[in-house]
Every structure is written in structure tokens, then in C-alpha cells.
Structure 1
Amino acid sequence: MREIINGERFVMGTCYYPEHWDSSLWEDDLERMLQAGIEVIRIAEFAWNKIEPEEGVYTYEFFDSFLELAQKKGMKVIFCTPTATPPVWLTEKYPEVLNADQDGLLYRHGARRHYNYNSPVYQKLCRNIVEKSASHYGGHPAIIGWQIDNEVNCELDEFYSESDTLAFRHFLQEKYKTIDGLNQAWGTIFWNQTYNCWEQVYVPRKTVHNTNNPHHLLDYYRFVSDSARRFVRMQSEIIRKYCKKEDFITTNGIFGNLDNQAMQKESLDFMTYDSYPNFAYCLDDYQAEDPIKDRKWSRNLAETRAISPIFGIMEQQSGANGWTTRMEAPTPRPGQITLWTMQSIAHGADFVSYFRWRTCTVGTEMYWHGILDYSGRDNRRLREIREIARKMEGMKEIAGARYAAKVGILKDYDNIWDARQDKWHERVDKCSQKSLFAALQMTHTPFDYVYLDDETDWEELRKYEVLFYPHASILTDARMKALETYVSEGGKLVMGCRTGYKDLCGRCVMDKLPGKAAELTGTDIPEYSFVAPDDGRVLADWDGTKVEAAVFNDLLEPAGEQAEVLARYASSYYAGTPALIRNRYGKGEAYYFGGAFALDTAKVFLDKLGVGTPWRETLKLPECCELAVREKDGRRYFFVLNYAPESVKVEVKKELRELFAGELIKGEAELGAYEVKIFAE
């Protein structure tokens, strides 16, 4: 059985760097960790030189010594592959392993993640270090799992080395077979971009206004994802040969240009996330008027849950964060480490590891604080960690419980990557994603992100009463079939403007819009427009309720006997034109809204579709609190998280057991500043 994420209890860990500290500190550090309730440490992700100090010379004594001590003390270890920071001997001898910017200038040694995935030399050297590490340490009794690399695609998620161009050509040849096939897919007839041979094709290069062919860019992002996944899979396959059967393999963080769902299925046992809600208070980017602030990390945790329903946190905020070169943030206030830990657990984390045990005294991250400050003495944060460990022990019955949601937001990587390089798509999608999340948070409506691909079965969707698919510019027949079946079997689907106007290559279709979604939504779109600056807020009247149709407006017409106009634009030159159509389709309903979703608009949709505030008969909460629900064996656990710096009152409408105090509660309950309470049925 796995030591962590096993459905039996919560486990606490921390990140430790024995190479940063004199060995005389190790034993005391491990003992103090164990006394605080920390029973797992992550090591070695930046320690290539400690295993291979020069090419082909392998030394194991350093980590042998540390692992022997860890085993003696009863500390469990997650061992990492060190491929995120190739050593200087490697990059000096083999500069072709380095990544480059779009002008071809190499990123030199001195930071991290300065390599490219596609260098044959780097792939060979990585295979060597992973093989040597896994074969030597794989059977060690102190090791319970492996982390591959560190934060795949962090820092840089674009790659412009010569190796990447060669690999990109191969990727395209596999996909399109002929150069004529590529020219057709990319529409290279435009601006005289037609290619005569594969040698003329490169990764995107610097152009006038940096305006690259959008279809070229879309395939490039797919290629970056494919490259990263192959790099992770190569390491996973090596580790599997040597690790113990019960050991797990994971990697940490969620970053751009990467199909994390595919990576998980191919290479990992579960995903771990690096959660830093303190970024909400970064002094160089602080938005005081933003009511969501650190609650935004619940969105990232929901993304992690879309990869692994039960997951781990490899790096949880424990101190002030910042580098010497960027980012400045304050120390977490009393209670915030607990709040952010419970935020992670509320969304599905059964393992939480804090970054880091000791704050480093050297290097770029010497202001990225851990549990202990430079002196290593006991402090307020360590006392809070001890209290969290006590709480984890008292809530172990929740371990393995699944997050419960009846609302889903559909996503897919084709549209995510398309929005990255298409400003029209990006603008509407950014508005709706932000607003939908905020509306769900403020109405205490738990939700899931649900990722679609051509293999998605509608059965995966049926547990959701309502699905939002805000701006699916790119649609496929397979995805539409799943959605059509979901609706026909009784589901409710909401789509927004700019739906269905592109194919998989990102080319605009010549069909009547909304293209493949027309029949399901019962909608025709004869005309459309961005909202003009002098239009102000374009409103639509929905049964007497005014809702904003933000950013972009599709001017709609009903198509079909079951299509019904629910709202019309109430302003701009197209006042009176349909803005919202409901189409009855089988047992369910499809809604097409002609705008992007502003915050208040999203709240109205949740209310009118009957899914907002689903637990109103159980709990009444102020907006500053988040509600998350986990379910296990027919029992629900209600996490109430107060993000406010002052006490708030909540109303418990049904008798529930408050988990930490063990008391039955009905009526008014008080949550202190940053306090979390868990109520069990």
C-alpha cells in the first residue's frame, strides 16, 4: 500500500535540501520535523552534481549517508530526478542542450530549467542520471516515491533551440505526412508563406510585430506539450524498472503548453501541485480591490483535481516568498498557513508538503522563506504547523473523500492553446473564466473543471446538472457527440459567444455559425461584433433581469421548433435582437448566450438554472467564506474557509458535527480571522 494518498489518513511533509546544510544539522532537523508531525521529505531535485560530479563519474555516498539517517529516524523520503538543473560541466561541454529565446540566443548556466527537451545529447545524459539514480536508490527502504524533474514547463514553456526545430519538423511530418498537407492545414497561401520542403519549416521565429501564422503557433504549442510528455515518460519508464512495487511516481506543478491529463495517464500515479496563495499579496502586483485574492488558488486546485481527483501538494506556502530578482510578498499572517493548507485539503489533497523546512541563506531563493527562518530556531510558523498536524489526525476519516460538485466548467487543450495565440479568443475566454469562477465562489457553489477530448464518454459528464462551455471556438464531431448525448439524457449545457467558428487547425469555418453547435443549441448567428468602446456595458433583458453581455456579442436567431428566445439585447444598435436562446434537446436543454459572462451575469445563470448556492438549506455563509464539500461512504464534509482578516458569523441550519471540536452544532457559529471549520453530517 502507498505511504501517502491511500484513503486512510492525511500525511504531512516538507521539502528538504541536505546539500544546503552541514551534515551536523541533519539529525536535529529530522527529529524536529518528526516532532512537528512531518513524516515525509522531498529531496534531490536540484542535486545532479551530488550523484554525477563530472561526466560518467557517479558517486552515491552523499545521499547514501543521508538516506541511512532518514531510515534510522523513521523519516520517509520522496526522491527526485535532478533533470531541472543540468550541471555546469554538462552545459559547457554540450551547449546544444540549452534552450534559446526566439532570436536564437542561448539561455546560459546560472538559473534553472535552461535546457531543451529535444536535444539528443540531453536526453541521453538524462537517461543516464535517472538510470543510475533509480538503479542505486530504487530499493531503499526509506524511499516511498519519486518525483520526476521539477515543475515541468515552469519558467519557460517555449523552446527555440536548433534541436527543437529538428524535432518540430519530425512532429509535423508524422502528423501531416506531406509538405502539401502542412501547407493546406496552415493556410500558407496567405502572405505567400508556402513551403516547398520540410527544411524550410522552423519553430516560430521573430517576425514583424511578432505576428506568426496562428495555425503554425497552434501546432507548435501541441509540439511543446508532446516534447515535455515524452521527456517525463522516458524518466517514468526507467524508474518503474527499479522502484519498489508500492512506490509512486509523480511530478509537481501545473504549467503552460502541457496536456497534464495525458501526462498523468502515461507516466504518473497522481499529480502534485505547488500551492502559493501568498502570490495574491505580491507587493509588485497587488490588487487591493480584488475580492478573490488568495481564493484564486482554489481555481488552480480545481485544475489539479481535474487531473487527479485525489492529489498531493508538493510545495505548500509556509513563509514569505520572493526571489532576489522578482516577487516580494509578506509573511503569512497567523492562521493563513492553516487556511491555505485546508484550502488544499478541501479541494482533494490528501498529502501536503511545505516548502521548505529551512530558509536558504544563499542564492536566488534566499528570500523564499520556509517554515524556519535563517537561524533555524522555533517560531510562530512552526507552532502553526504542529497544530495543523494535530488537526489532520483528527480529520483522517475524510481521507480519500471525493470533492462533490454538480456544476462543471468544460475545457480542452485545443481551445486553451488557441486562446494563447489568438487575442480575440483570449479576451472573451479570460473574461468568462474569471467571472464564472468568482460567481461560483461567491455563491458557495462547488464546481469541477472537466476536460474534454475526442475520447470523452458522455457518462463522464452525466453527474453534472449544468455544464458551462464558455467559448469553444474549436469543436470536433466526437466532442459534440458526447455533449449532444449529455443534453439529450437530461443535462443542461451553456455555451457563450464565439463558439464553433474554427476547425482543429484553428482555421475559420465557412459554415453558418455556431458551426457544429448549431443543431444542439438551435441557434443561427447572422452577425457579430466586439462591444464598441462607446457602447459602454451592453445589456440583455432576461425576464426582467438585466444581464451584461460582455466583450463580444453574437447577434442570434432561433433555428428549429424547440428553440426559444429567453433574452434580447437591451442596448446598442442591435437592441431587440436575441441574446440568449434555449433549445430543448431530448430530455435536456442547451443554452447559447451571445456574450462573454460578466460576474453578475454568471450569478444570474447559476440562479435561473437552479444550481447556485446548492447547500443553502444546510449552511448560510458570508461572501468572504468559501464552501467546499467532500463525500465519502455516503457522508458529506463541509469545509468553510474564512479568507477575511476578521471574525465572521455563519448559520448552521441543520445539526452537524464540527470536526475539530467534536461538538454538534445547529444555529450560529463564529469563525475567527482566517479560520476554517469542517462540519460533518
Structure 2
Amino acid sequence: MSRRPHRWVRWPEPLTTENARGPLGFGADYNPDQWPREVWDEDVRLMRQAGVNIVSLGIFSWARLQPTAETWDFAWLDEVMDLLHAHGIAVDLATATASPPPWLSAAHPEILPVTRTGETMWPGARQHWRPTSPVFRQHALAVVEAIASRYAQHPALAAWHVSNELGCHNLYDYSEDAAAAFRTWLSQRYADLDGLNHAWGTAFWSQRYSEWDQVLPPRLTPTIPNPTHQLDFKRFSSDALKDYLRAEREILDRLTPDVPVTTNFMVMSHFNGIDYAGWADEVDFVSNDHYVLVDDRARDELSFSANLTGGIAGGDPWFLMEHSTSAVNWRAINPPKAEGALVRDSLTHVAHGADAVCFFQWRQSLAGAEKYHSAMVPHAGEDSDVYRTVVRLGGHLERLAPVVGSRRRQARAAILFDIESSWTLDLEANPSSSVSHRAEALDWYAAFLALGVRADVLPAGASLDGYDVVVTPVLHVLPAATADLLREVVDRGGHLITTYFSGVVDENNHVYAGGYPGALRDLLGIRIEEFGPLLDGDEVVLDDGSVGTLWTDRITAAPGTEILATYKTGLQAGRPAVTRRAIGDGSATYVSTRLGADGLEPLLARMLEAAGVDSELPEGLRGRVELAIRTDGEREYWFLVNRTDDVVGLGEPGDLGEPVFSSGADLGDAELAGSGVAVFTRAAR
């Protein structure tokens, strides 16, 4: 299927007249049905005061809109839509299908999801529906039809918001509906049972299937389920929800062809279940929800996820649909954000391509499971630091309106993120359950940040044209076609860097025979007979002084392959640890242990120097300031994000371009406040 062309929010006047491309979006999930009518007027007053110009409306309103199977109540939503429009606030209107009302699950318990152990997940929370349930789909699509028909011409309607965080709680359903849909999906993928049996390696443990009806979801088994069976179920589960997204979108396209459609992805370390790169073709613009970690990697992870969201969006602007003003409610302990974090987090997303910054939610709830989740208007109300900071952020976004519509400027380096490698490494019976594709990718990203060198984070399968350095951390699943793309990078003079446990299996999770790392063995000029994973807490020392954890390899280097570092300790002592094979003007490097961000930094610096890739930042800012660049083809916008809590001097005026904005100290002082963000502009190169 061809990618849907990028279409942005349909801003109503006068928002479109102020800027031909509209403003930066600013707002939140809005839930007026949780509040008495008199609160609504106060809401719009505070929204106008803060600069809010868009809200997501009606996300969890199905039970209010359709109180019974035979009755509808749109009067309250009509009034809210009119009220918002009267105050210049656009609406990203939800289809309200995220959670079915009690009457539906009571009348049709067959819509309820089933766990792998056979337990039914009952109502009382949210997302209690099967993605493959024909009964749920019938009722949900009727809601979509009713809402879209009623509000198709409403002047406040700026975009459609399909469901909400699809698959957050009901991604894996093991019901009979899922079993039937899984068989259909498999028959389309493999054509016949011979193809399935080959792909799943069913000769092992007497698993060969002779009839399609014998195939089930990977339910509870006595021991380790078939790994490829599990991998395919993850693929199927992602595709099943994508098919549901498409079903809602097709109704919206039919009834409102001029209104763009989106749904909120969850590109963040806490969620690893959906192939969002494969979903991007189904929406008019990519939207994302992101909630920061509470650890020492939080800033790096936020930047990584925002960067990856931009990669999934193909470099187009995207919509930050949800993040938090301060504390969340779902951790064991939920500390508030530090001073400056609300603004810094928001503007980091803008730096990586977000043209809208929204939160969950507008007004903090007084009841329910998320009553302690922060909001733009907290329990303390208008007279609070959180709301005052929200108002300040609204002013910042208004000043940054010139960046709207600009795309990220391609870096010279890229890091590949592969959801299928991540899924496969989460399965049982790997050499080490501690190996994480995302954690290793984040190590490399942090090393790039420390060196002040921009690197684009791309989904596997994205074009690698124009990248001089490509890093593929723990790219475990490597189809032959992707391996060919990596060879092309090296053949054209680019530099590939890959790591332990990469290139080991094909798309069927079958090991490439002949020695590791299978699909990359000849390109790298090495052969590995046996893996050497390390126990938790064990370390090995390399002869360059770096320390490795998690993994080692028993490497034999082919003639002509350069050994950049050797193990000094451990079972592999005296053997190569880091190798590099030069091929024409290009090279292929292999790192066989986890060095962590600090250990990777000097190695990466050597690799970048050999590739002729340097930081675009002045030397004094490298490691202290993150640089992201957006361009509209005529102007570049250089976003500088202070990675520290200390003031950073920016050097001589003019070195970075013409100052546009600073979230902290006056740019005339040539300083960047702690956790501050500044933007400079210059002519596009």
C-alpha cells in the first residue's frame, strides 16, 4: 500500500490567517463530561489565557454519547463543540471507541479479551474489547458513523482522533475470535501449511500442522512455545489493530474526505508492542504519546523517542498528542517534574519535528484511576506553579510559530531501530535474557549526544541514502533484503557499525548456518563459533581500557580485518573484541560487547573521525547541549537543548546564527539557562 500523503491539522480561521501554515498546536485531552456545566466557561477562559488552540475531545465518551443501545445524547457535545469554536479553539475529535460502555459488554461478553491463560478481562477499567471481535467492530463503527455524520461540517473540527492508544491494554488477545483471525492472517502470509510449517520449524518437538484448525494463538504451554509462532503472533496482533484503525478511517474518509485522520502512537521505552513504522501509512499525520522515564537516562530516552517518531513520520512534522505536565499516576512512586522540565521536555519534542504540543489532560480529574495524574490545570487550580508554567509554555510556542511545517534536516549518521529484533529478543530461550535492542540503541544515541553529533533514529527498512555512518545495534533479525541494504551503504563508501547478536536470524527467526553473525559475516570479515554471554554483574576488560558487560564473542578475524580492541580478561582473553574491515572507501565495524554510553564515546569518536563526520556545534557546547535542526528549505532552525541543570555559555554572538528564541536567559546574554532551550536561524545550506 502506498503511503498516505502528509496532511496536517485543518485549522479554522482565524488561526490560519495569522500564519499560512497555522500555529504550533497547544492543548490537551479535554473531558468536559467529567465536570458540571459551569466549569466549562472557566475552562475556555483559562485555555485562552494559556494560549491553548486545540483539544482532543470525546476520547472516553461512548457511554455518555450512547447511554443505551437504542438511545443517543449529543446535546452536551454539540454545546462543547460550539463553545470551543466560539473561543477560537480547534477540536481533534475522537471517535469515542476506546472503551465500550457497560451495556455493550453486558449484552455481548463475547467482545471481552482473553489472556493466554484463558482468563477473561472484564469491564471496570478501559480497552476491554477484542481487536478481532466482529461484534465489537459492528457497534464501534456505528458510533464512528454517527459522530462523523453529525460533526462533518462543524467549523471547530480540525482532525479525527481514531480510538486512543490502540493496543495499550488489549494488544494480545487469545480468544476464539483471535484464533480465527490469526489463521486467516497466517494463510495470507504463507499461502499453505507447508509454508507455515517451514517458517515455524515445526519438525522440532513434533509440532507439524496438518489442518489450519489445529493452529492456535500461543496460549499457555507446558514449556517454551515455538519462537516463530510467538513472533508471528506479535506481527499479527499489530496488524489486527492496524486493520481496525483502517476500518474506522475508511468511514471517516468517506464522510469527511477533507478532514485529516490520526491516532496516537506510543513511541516510548515503556511500550514495545506495535510496528508503528507499518502504521504510518494509515494516517494523515503521525501523532505520539510520550511519558519520560524517572532515571538518569530520562533526557536521552525522551530525545531518542522523539527522534524515532520523526523517523517513523518520514521527516514530516508530527503531533505530540500526550505527555505530562508533572507527575504521572501509574508508577509505584510518582515524583513531580523538576523545575524547567515541563518546558524543556515539550520543546525537545518540537526540536525533533513536533508541530503540536499537547498533554494528558486539561483539568486534573477529581475521581477515577488517573486522579493523581498531573494536568495543565492541577487540583490547585489557576494559582499554581504548574498552570503558570503552562501559560509560559504557551507564549514560547507562539513565538516559535515560524518553525511550523519545517522538516528535520537529515543528519550524516543514523541509528536503526527494528521492532522485530526487539520482539525476538524478548522471547524465551535466547543466549541471554538481558540483551535489549532498545537499550543498546539508546547507549549509542547517548554517545552521539555526548559527542555533539546529530544522528537520526530510523525504523529498519527506511532509506539509508545520504547517511555516511549507519549504526545497527543488536540488529538480531536481519532478512536478506535488509542485509543487502547495509552492504550497499558500505559499497558506496559509507561506514556500518553493528554489534553483538546482530545478523543472526532471518525473518523466520531461523539461524543463518555457517557461523555467526550469519547475514553479516562476510561483510564484517569475521566468524564467530560460539557466543559468550556474561552473567549479571560480570565484566571484561579490553586492551584500550574500556569495560564490557552482558556479552562477549569468540571471534576469528579474516585476513585484512583490522582488530581495534582485544579482550584482556575473561574467557575470550587475547581474542578480538572490536573489529573493522575496510572495503573501498567504506568500512564495516563490529563491537562484540556492551560498552555502555561512556565506553562507546571514545570508540564512536574514532569511527566518526575516520568517516569524516564531525559535530556541528562549537567545541565548548559538545556534550552539554543537544542540537536538532529543522528546515523549510529556505531557513534552518537550530534548536539547542541544555542537557545540564547549569548555565551554559553560547560563545560569540553570530556563531550559531540569528537568535530567535530562548526559554530562559535573554539570548543577548549569550547564555543558555539550565534545562533551557534556545533556537537560532540561518539560511538553509
TM-score normalised over the length of structure 1: 0.90
Once residues 188 and 663 of structure 2 are traced to their aligned partners in structure 1, the CA distance between those partners, rounded to angstroms, is: 60
Of residues 312-321 and 658-667 in structure 1, the stretch that sits farther from structure 2 once superposed is 658-667
Correspondence 1:114 to 2:128: yes
1:51 aligns with 2:51: no
Structure 2 match to 1:626: 626
1:663–1:330 Cα change, 3 Å: closer
Question: For residues 369 and 214 of structure 1, what CA distance do their matches in structure 2 show?
Answer: 40
3-state SS, counterpart of residue 435 of structure 2: helix
Q: Deviations for 1:187-218, whole angstroms, at most 9, x for unmatched residues?
A: 22323333332222211111235x21111111
How many angstroms apart in 1 are the aligned matches of 2:412 and 2:421? 23
Where do residues 203-242 of structure 1 align in structure 2 (5 Å cutoff)?
Answer: 203-208=217-222, 211-242=224-255
In the TM superposition, residue 652 of structure 1 has moved relative to its aligned partner by 5.1
How far apart are the structure 2 equivalents of 1:42 and 1:366?
18
In structure 1, the residue matched to 2:602 is 604
Larger mean Cα displacement after TM superposition, 433-442 or 42-51: 433-442
- More divergent stretch after superposition (587-596 vs 419-428): 419-428
Q: CA RMSD in A?
A: 2.8
Residue 314, structure 1, aligned to residue 321, structure 2: yes
Name 1:447's counterpart in structure 2. Answer: 455
> Letter of the aligned partner of 1:628 in structure 2?
A
User: Does residue 1:21 correspond to 2:35, yes or no?
Assistant: yes
Pair 1:436 & 2:448 matched: no
Aligned to 2:464: 461
Deviation at residue 425 of structure 1 after TM alignment:
6.4
Assess, with a 3 A threshold, how the Cα gap between structure 1 residues 371 and 441 changes in structure 2: closer, same or farther: same
Question: Residues 304 and 215 from structure 1, CA distance in 2 versus in 1: closer, same or farther, beyond 3 angstroms?
Answer: same
Cα distance, 1:269 vs. partner? 1.1
**Partner of residue 475, structure 1:** 478
Q: Which residue of 2 aligns with 1:126?
A: 140
Structure 1, unmatched stretches of 5+, are 281-286
- Whole-angstrom distance in 2 between the partners of 1:89 and 1:665: 57
Give 1:322's aligned amino acid: N
Judged with a 3 Å threshold, the aligned counterparts in structure 2 of structure 1 residues 156 and 626 are, in CA distance, closer, same or farther, namely farther
Deviation at 1:480, TM superposition (A): 1.7
Shift of 1:305: 1.2
Instruction: Provide the C-alpha distance between the structure 2 equivalents of 1:663 and 1:129, rounded to a whole number of angstroms.
Output: 46
Which string of whole-angstrom CA distances, capped at 9 and with x for unpartnered residues, describes residues 574-602 of structure 1? 32222233222343111122223422332
Q: Aligned runs of 1:280-295 on 2, under 5 Å?
A: 280=294, 287=295, 290=296, 292-295=297-300
The alpha carbon displacement at 1:616 in A equals 6.0
Alpha-carbon distance in 1 for matches of 2:613, 2:508: 39
| Residue of structure 2 in register with 1:638 after alignment | 638
> Counterparts of 2:291 and 2:114 in 1: how far apart (Å)?
28
Structure 2: gaps spanning 5 or more residues? 1-7
**Residues 556 and 334 of structure 1, relative CA distance in 2, 3 Å threshold:** closer
In 1, distance between residues paired with 2:433 and 2:635? 40
Shift in Å, 1:38:
0.6
1:663–1:161 Cα change, 3 Å: closer
d(CA) in 2 for partners of 1:644, 1:565: 36
- The correspondence for 2:501, drawn from 486, 492, 498, is 498
Q: Which residue of 1 aligns with 2:673?
A: 672
Q: Distance in 2 between matches of 1:429 and 1:652?
A: 42
Sort the Cα spacing of 1:260 and 1:616 in 2 relative to 1 into closer, same or farther, 3 A. Answer: closer
Q: Which residue of 1 aligns with 2:431?
A: 424
Alignment of 1:591 onto 2:589: yes
Deviates more, 1:83-92 or 1:585-594: 585-594
What is the one-letter code of the residue matched to 1:220?
Answer: F
C-alpha deviation, 1:238, in angstroms: 0.8
Matched residue, 1:284: none
Distance in 1 (alpha carbons) for counterparts of 2:27 and 2:536: 51
Shift of 1:617: 5.2
| Contact 1:50–1:62 (8 Å) recurs in 2 | no
In structure 1, distance between residues paired with 2:608 and 2:212: 54
CA distance in 1, matches of 2:280, 2:306: 16
Mapped to 1, the partners of 2:475 and 2:584 lie a distance apart of 22
Shift of 1:665: 9.9
Partner in structure 2 of residue 82 of structure 1: 96
Cα 1:176–1:109 change in 2 (3 A) is same
Q: How far 1:664 sits from its partner (Å)?
A: 13
Aligned runs of 1:88-103 on 2, under 5 Å? 88-103=102-117
Correspondence list, 1:313-332, <5 A: 313-323=320-330, 326-332=331-337
Are the counterparts in 2 of residues 469 and 495 from structure 1 also a CA contact under 8 Å? yes
The secondary structure found in structure 2 opposite 1:342 is helix
Match of 2:554 in 1: 555
1:564 is the counterpart of 2:562: yes
Conserved in 2, the CA contact under 8 Å of 1:495 and 1:592?
A: yes
Asked if 2 retains the 8 angstrom alpha-carbon contact of 1:644 and 1:673, the reply is yes
Distance 2:567 2:589 in 1: 16
Deviation at 1:77, TM superposition (A): 0.6
Match for 1:377: what amino acid?
Answer: E
Question: Partners in 2 of 1:617 and 1:644 — Cα distance?
Answer: 16
2: distance between equivalents of 1:229 and 1:524?
A: 40
C-alpha distance 466-248 of structure 1, shift in aligned 2 (>3 A): same
Q: Which is worse superposed, 70-79 or 638-647?
A: 638-647
1:353 alignment partner, one of 351, 355, 358: 358
253, 277, 295: which is aligned to 2:266? 253
CA contact (8 A) 1:530 1:551 kept: yes
2:659 is equivalent to residue 658 of structure 1: yes
2: distance between equivalents of 1:428 and 1:662?
39
SS of the equivalent of 1:421 reads coil
- Post-superposition offset of 1:25: 2.1
C-alpha distance in 2, partners of 1:130/1:505?
A: 38
Q: 1:599 to 1:183 in 2, by over 3 A?
A: same
Going from structure 1 to structure 2, the CA distance change for 1:464 and 1:294 (only over 3 Å counts) comes to: same
TM-score (norm 2): 0.89
1:397 aligns with 2:402: yes
Contact 1:320 1:330 in 2 (8 A): yes
Deviation (angstroms), 1:89: 0.5
| 1:328-368 Cα deviation digits (max 9, x unpaired) | 42333432211111111111111111222211111111111
Deviation track 1:36-78 (CA, whole Å, cap 9, x = no partner) reads: 2111111001001232222243332221222122222222111
Shift in alpha-carbon separation, 1:532–1:145, aligned structure 2, 3 A: closer
- Return the letter of the residue paired with 1:271: V
Structure 2: distance between partners of 1:565 and 1:173: 47
Deviations 1:132-160 (A, max 9, x none): 11122122111010111111121343212
- Displacement of 1:242: 1.5
Letter in 1 for 2:397: M
Indicate conservation of the 8 Å contact 2:415/2:457, yes or no.
yes
Which of residues 507, 510, 530 in structure 1 aligns to 2:510?
507
Matched to 1:602, the amino acid is L
What amino acid is aligned across from residue 350 of structure 2 in structure 1?
Answer: I
- Kept in 1, the 8 Å contact 2:664–2:676? The answer is no
